[in-house]
Amino acid sequence: MERPKADLSYVVEALPLGPAFETGQLHDVSSGMRTFRPVIDTEKCVKCLRCFLVCPDGAIDKSGETLEIDYDYCKGCGVCRRACKPGAISMVKEAEV
């Protein structure tokens, strides 16, 4: 017996494609508590976006040709470095920058 086929295209078309309203920042500038800062080596970066997806602060910007870190909101937790498989992110002491 063949299963009936359901046409769900009308459901997918009814889903909203973006936020319903403009959001604001949920946190303040937090760079003062950072000891280490992540630095992206653009030569090694393959733009897989793993770091962007795991950043708890949303401090990685993917809108340009290369990934950039907004150091005003980065807390230096190192989650992005641990998620980076090609090893394109390194942690540098804040005092050395």
Please state the length of the chain.
97
* Residue found under tokens 């992540």: 38
pTM for this structure?
0.68
User: How many CB atoms neighbour CB 40 within 10 A?
Assistant: 19
State mean pLDDT over 65-78: 92
Is residue 16 within a helix (H) or strand (E), and if so which, with residue range? none
Per-residue pLDDT of 6-57, as tens digits, reads 676 666 666 666 655 565 555 567 657 789 999 999 999 999 999 999 999 8
So what's the pLDDT on residue 29? 72
- pLDDT computed for residue 24 by the predictor: 58
Phi, psi angle pair for 47, to nearest 5° = 55, 50
Domains identified in the chain and CATH numbers: 29-96 (3.30.70.20)
